[in-house]
């Protein structure tokens, strides 16, 4: 399974700025390469995208490359740093609970690939025995 790969950031990490962030400087791009372990078939299933074996291999290899770069985020010490999910220091956005006309049912269904009797129509949600 996955191994945690947090590395301490050194001053050297911080020194080279954009060149390292962009990988533009030749020769050295990362101080430490991170081993990325990815079960691409499982990820594709989770994402609900049906891919052929060739496609799985193709995307799997590309994702590994991208994730090796993205894993740079693991090199910064972040003890005690709160995660940011959202740029605004917002809590709740309240508004008066007023009834407004909803989208007409026919309008809402007008773009559906399949609809019947006022409902969206889909194939069985469970496989047949």
Distance CA 56, CA 50 (A): 9
Judged by CB under 8 A, the residue of 27, 102, 113, 118 near other proteins is: 113
Judged by CB under 8 A, the residue of 53, 101, 107, 129 near other proteins is: 107
Distance CA 54, CA 40 (A): 12
Interface mask (CB under 8 A) for other proteins, residues 76-105, using x and -? Answer: x-x--xxxxxxxx-x--x-x-------x--
Which residues 30-69 are close enough to bind other proteins by CB under 8 A? 38, 40, 43-51, 59, 62-63, 65-67, 69
The encoded tokens of residue 70 equal: 């993205």
Neighbours of 57 (CB within 10 A): 13
Q: Which of 70, 73, 82 is nearest to 9 (CA)?
A: 73
Distance CA 27, CA 20 (A): 11
- Count of residues engaged in binding other proteins, rule: CB under 8 A: 70
The residues binding other proteins (CB under 8 A) are 1-2, 4-6, 13-14, 16-25, 38, 40, 43-51, 59, 62-63, 65-67, 69-76, 78, 81-88, 90, 93, 95, 103, 107-108, 110-114, 120, 122-128
């Amino acid at each position: 399974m996955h191994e945690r790969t947090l590395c301490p950031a050194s001053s050297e990490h911080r020194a080279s700025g954009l060149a390292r962030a962009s990988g533009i400087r030749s020769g050295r791009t990362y101080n430490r390469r991170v081993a990325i372990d990815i079960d691409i078939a499982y990820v594709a299933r989770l994402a609900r995208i049906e891919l052929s074996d060739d496609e799985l291999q193709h995307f799997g290899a590309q994702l590994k490359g991208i994730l090796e770069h993205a894993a740079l985020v693991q090199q910064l010490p972040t003890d005690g740093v709160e995660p940011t999910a959202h740029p605004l220091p917002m809590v709740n956005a309240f508004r008066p609970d007023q009834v407004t006309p909803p989208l007409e049912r026919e309008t809402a269904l007008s773009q559906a690939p399949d609809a019947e009797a006022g409902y969206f129509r889909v194939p069985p949600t469970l496989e047949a025995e």
